[in-house]
Chains A and B, each alone.
Chain A
Amino acid sequence: MEVMLTALGLLLEPYTLMVILLASIFGLFVGAMPGLTATMATALLVPVTFFMAPVPAIAAIVSASAMAIFAGDIPGALLRIPGTPASAAYTDEAYAMTRKGEAEMALGAGVTCSVFGGLFGAAALMYFAPPLAELALQFSSYEYFWLSVLGLACAILVSPGSPVKGCIALLFGVMISTVGIDPMTGFSRYTFGYVQLLGGLSLIPVLVGMYAVAEILRYAIIIDAPVTITQKKIGNIFAGQLPMMWKYKVGIMRGNVVGTLIGALPGAGADIAAWVSYAMSKKFSKTPEKFGTGHVEGIAEAGASNNSALGGAYIPATVFGIPGDSITAIVIGVLYMKGMNPGPTIFIKNPELIYAVFLSFILANLMMLPLGWVAIKVSKQVLSVPRSVLMPIILMFCLVGSFAIDNTVFAVTIMLMFGIIGFLMEENGIPIAPAVLGLVLGPLIEGNFITSMMKADGRFLPFFERPIAGVLGVVTILVWMAPLVLWLWKLNRSRLATAAARS
């Protein structure tokens, strides 16, 4: 309890509160601009948080990302363009509601369910993280090795599209994490003689390149007519929200739970949570035929789900140092930069910091009610900011942000390279999130593997000898085998089907 009060004190300092407010406004703006994602908001914030104390830095990221995920609903409902990928699942539904004259209900459900989902995710984080950390304290390099390999496996399993392409992204991500001096032998790998690469590729220029620069490149080649908001005036968005939430309470709770779980899975974040929850809502609905015609049920469930995923993602991130989504991958990088290694020891060494992170989730979600209301009120003005002016300025932010991490122009070269790589990856259906996960998990996997091997004198058996390590190992191997088994099963079934058709 005392820790909680210390944490609250840290959070309620005027400076921190101001940072949270500014970060929230930034998050709302970025989230509401189509093409700018919550991950991009986080990546662009990092150079700024670089100069802050840990609590305001993490609180800024938490509030910006929470606001951005909600704000993605606004252009979805008004323009039929999702502001962030997390809103894509129910954009058509929200727009259909707007056309029926129910924009207030759609936007209001976005706010209230986001707040509810966000609070649920935060509560799950507060409830599950400390006991898990207690358990994780007993983990050795074997358990960490299996956990990180399991994390990679999940990233492929949940990545949309072809598993082979997910695998390529992952391998590529782990590969670029090996650039630089090998911590075990001191041998420099893949540096091509560049002194600047000896310390490895900095996470931020790589991320800013893959997420922001790639997006700006994509913007440059979009050919479409400018869209305008047809909605004249937006009335009271909170009217009728409580009865609506009560009516769909089961669905919203299901969205909360599913969102938190998917968030906690490494590699899957708010966007996948929203898709899964929207589909589930339709499946379990009493009126599935209304879906797609402007029905609030799916929006409520998926809107709660994508915001609870944010909190869920922090569970593995804070407890094991394994990111739950691409945003927490960045958060882990920030924590390392601040000299605080995420993992169970942080719960002992800096408990007030961890609790401040938890509380900042709650604070950010409560602030979402008034700020979200304002954002919706001024959405017409925000959405009319010309992107032809905004995108170049964001590019300049990327340049300065990358520079600021190491104070070298070399980072800009890295950013440019990864911008092109990220653009080509997305164009060819290779997802970016697994690559980011691989980049963060790579050193963990290699370090823990070599350490374990040294302890075990090069034998594999000790990897399974400890009880938790054994279970994790078996689960990991099963998860890695799953796509192969599924493929064989499908092959077998189609063979049976053709055989049946012939006879």
Chain B
Amino acid sequence: MKFNDAIVGIVIALLGAAIIFQASSFPRAQHIPYGPGFLPTILGSGLVACGVVLIVAGIAARRTQRLLELGEWSRSPRHIFGFVLILACLAFYALFADDIGHFACSVLILWALIAHLTRRPWRALFISLIASIAIQYFFVEGLLVPLPWGILEPYSGWFTWR
């Protein structure tokens, strides 16, 4: 997913400008002229400068550099789906892990990804169950990470030897 340098430059310059804009609203320090907005302003200016350099370079190279170079995978629906699936799984975990619990999320995510990548859904279900149980034991029982149980709360006792 390679963009033309000019596009990267525009994004970077805008990011820098937004940082400077935010920093300008920061309060000033009392005794010296260097408050909380000082470093961000420098960094933002640097990003704007680098962004401008990239814009110029990108425009200069517009004949050889396409606006967006996607690579071979963009013509394979299977690979696009895999890419989106990973992002979707992570977003799903971030949104729902607290409510439906880590274990259920883990089985679902592992099954979805392994089934997609290996194309063998039943074997994937088996692997995802085994792996989820192993991770659960290692982190929750071994390292005492308080992973949320969510809807499986009533069954949490099944998994402990304590």
Residues on A lying within 8 angstroms of B by beta carbon are 47-48, 50-51, 164-165, 167-168, 171-172, 174-175, 178, 182, 184-185, 187, 189-190, 213, 216-217, 220-223, 386, 388-389, 391-393, 395-397, 399-400, 403-404, 407, 409-410, 412-413, 415-416, 419-420, 423-424, 427-430, 442, 445-446, 449-450, 453-454, 457-458
- Tell me, rounded to whole Å, the shortest Cβ–Cβ distance linking A36 to chain B: 16
The distance in angstroms between the C-alpha atoms of A449 and B38, with both chains bound, is: 11
Residues of B near A424 (CB, < 8 A) are 1
B121 at the binding interface (Cβ < 8 Å): no
Query: B91 an interface residue at 8 Å Cβ cutoff?
Result: yes
Residues of B within 8 Å of A, CB-based: how many?
69
CB distance B145 to A404 under 8 Å? yes
Q: A221-B73, A407-B146 are in contact. Are A388 and B135 (CB under 8 A)?
A: no
B79 with A223: CB separation less than 8 A: yes
CB of B117 within 8 A of chain A? yes
Interface SS of B by simple majority = helix
- Which partner residue on chain B sits nearest A182 by CB separation? B36
CB-defined contacts of A175 to chain B, threshold 8 Å: 19, 40, 43-44, 47
Measured between beta carbons, the chain A residues less than 8 angstroms from B109 are 392, 395-396, 399
Near A by CB (< 8 A), chain B positions 37-76 give: 38-40, 43-44, 46-47, 50-51, 53-54, 57, 71-73, 76
How far, in whole Å, are A412 and B87 apart by their CA atoms in the complex? 12
Minimum Cβ distance to chain B for residue A170 (Å):
9
> Are B2's CB and A428's CB within 8 A?
yes
Contact present for B83 and A220 (CB under 8 Å): yes
Chain A's closest residue to B85 (CB) is A220
Q: Is B118 a contact partner of A171 (Cβ separation < 8 A)?
A: no
Chain B residues lying within 8 Å of A445, measured Cβ to Cβ, are 39
The listed residue with most A CB atoms (<10 A of its CB), out of B76, B114, B145, B147, is: B145
Asked if B40 contacts A189 (CB within 8 A), the reply is yes
Which residues of chain B have C-beta atoms less than 8 A from A165's C-beta? 50, 54
Least CB distance from B87 to A in Å reads 7
* Complex: A389 Cα to B36 Cα, angstroms: 47
B29 within 8 A of A: yes
B159 within 8 A of A: no
Pairwise interchain contact B143-A189, C-beta atoms closer than 8 A: no
CB of B86 within 8 A of CB of A217, answer: yes
Chain A's closest residue to B27 (CB) is A187
Cα distance, A351 to B82, chains bound together (Å): 49
Measured CB to CB, the closest approach of chain B to A462, in angstroms, equals 13
Q: Whole-angstrom distance from the CB of A251 to the nearest CB of chain B?
A: 37
What residues on A are CB-neighbors of B139 within 8 Å? 47, 400, 404
With A175-B19, A400-B102, A403-B145 known to touch, is A164 a contact of B83 (CB < 8 Å)? no
Residue in B44, B86, B94 whose beta carbon sits within 8 Å of that of A395 in the complex? B86
Per-residue contact bits, chain B 1-39, to A (CB 8 Å; 1 contact, 0 not): 111000010001001100100110011010111111011
> Within the complex, which residue of A178, A416, A453 is in contact with B40, where a contact is CB–CB below 8 Å?
A178
Q: Which residues of A contact B72 (CB under 8 A)?
A: 223
Q: Which residues of A contact B86 (CB under 8 A)?
A: 213, 216-217, 220, 395
A190: which B residues are within 8 A, CB to CB? 19, 22, 40
Other-chain residue from B22, B38, B90, B144 in contact with A213 (beta carbon distance below 8 A) = B90
Known pairs A403-B102, A428-B3. 5 more at Cβ < 8 A?
A: A164-B54, A178-B40, A185-B36, A221-B83, A454-B32
Residues of chain B within 8 A of A416, CB atoms compared? 87, 90-91, 94
Q: Taking the nearest CB of chain A, how far is it from the CB of B36, in angstroms?
A: 4
Q: How far is the CA of A384 from the CA of B109 in the complex (A)?
A: 23
Instruction: List 30 interface pairs A-B (beta carbons < 8 Å), by A numbering.
Output: A51-B143, A51-B144, A164-B54, A167-B46, A168-B12, A168-B47, A168-B54, A171-B16, A178-B40, A184-B36, A189-B23, A189-B26, A213-B90, A220-B85, A222-B73, A223-B73, A388-B117, A389-B117, A391-B113, A392-B114, A409-B148, A412-B97, A413-B94, A415-B90, A416-B91, A419-B90, A428-B2, A428-B8, A449-B39, A458-B34
